[in-house]
Amino acid sequence: MSEKELEARAANGELLAIHTSADGSYRVRIVVDEDFHPAPEQHYLTLERELGIHLESGTAIVGGCEDFRRKDSMITSEVDQIPVAPSWYRARIHVEDSDGELREARAHDEAEKALTPAELATYRSEASSNRSVLVLCVLATAISFAALVVHRPIGFVIGAIAAALILTATWQRRRRRGDTYERMHARYQSAFDAAFPPDFVLELHRTEAPLPGGSVELEDVLSMQSKRRA
């Protein structure tokens, strides 16, 4: 599907395209037939323009525009497919506007509450150990290749042996400790994901009559709204 075809389908209400002018993944939350109220510590900008979208299949699918350009379905995860009542919807878009580092710090604070003080101390110690092992392996590998470049085979062998010994010791250590760290990490990550606010919230309200659809050039819209407020 070409860019022109994508925009035409958006105008017909078949999809709602948000052009972010940046690569990467984004967290999206969909709220159906209710108003979105962010938490006190969260800051969202609400786009002034509302768009129509026709979800006649009863499923709202969230993904990148490139996913919709392919003939083969690329969006198969259950978390990216949200069941809704088949209908036309009026879509209101909320964009997260707080400092990224502050958001991450708050999410880490909440994630730490998922572990007991003793578990948190162990988790931090294991995470620090993992980073140290990685640094040592990279350093040993770099020494090996440096020795090879300057034609010192013995240096390459010594570096390779050092990296192998480090990895072996790490593997044995992980084997002894079992899956305790993995379970703690899963709980920590789950709490972190839950606490991290979505980048976009789509507020969908059912409507009987079709509404004009379209797409959003996020950077232009936010810049225009900021100028109006100034």
pLDDT in tens, 143-163: 656 665 655 566 556 556 666
Averaged over 120-149, what is the pLDDT?
64
Residue 181 pLDDT class (50, 70, 90 cuts): confident
Residue type, 126: E
Q: Count H helices, E strands: the chain?
A: 7, 9
Identify which has the larger pLDDT, 72 or 94.
94
Averaged over 168-190, what is the pLDDT?
70
Residue 43 pLDDT class (50, 70, 90 cuts): confident
Identify which has the larger pLDDT, 167 or 211.
211
- Overall pTM surpassing 0.85 (yes/no): no
Spell out the domain ranges in the chain.
3-98+198-222, 104-192
Query: What are the tokens at 145?
Result: 């290749």
How deeply is 37 buried, as exposed, middle or buried, from its count of CB atoms within 10 A (0-12, 13-18, 19+)? exposed
pLDDT of residue 176: 47
pLDDT of residue 5: 84
Task: List Cα–Cα distances, 29 to 61, 93, 194, in angstroms.
Answer: 11, 10, 12
- The neighbouring-strand residues paired with 17 are 215
Residue matched to tokens 């972010």 = 20
Residue 201 pLDDT class (50, 70, 90 cuts): very high
Distance CA 153, CA 213 (A): 66
Distance CA 180, CA 174 (A): 9
Task: List Cα–Cα distances, 54 to 14, 75, 112, in angstroms.
Answer: 6, 19, 41
Distance CA 52, CA 80 (A): 20
- Contact (Cβ atoms closer than 8 angstroms) between residue 218 and residue 97: no
Question: CB-hemisphere CA count at 13 Å for 226?
Answer: 7
Residue 186 pLDDT class (50, 70, 90 cuts): confident
pLDDT of residue 219: 79
What's the chain's average pLDDT? 77
- Contact (Cβ atoms closer than 8 angstroms) between residue 218 and residue 45: no
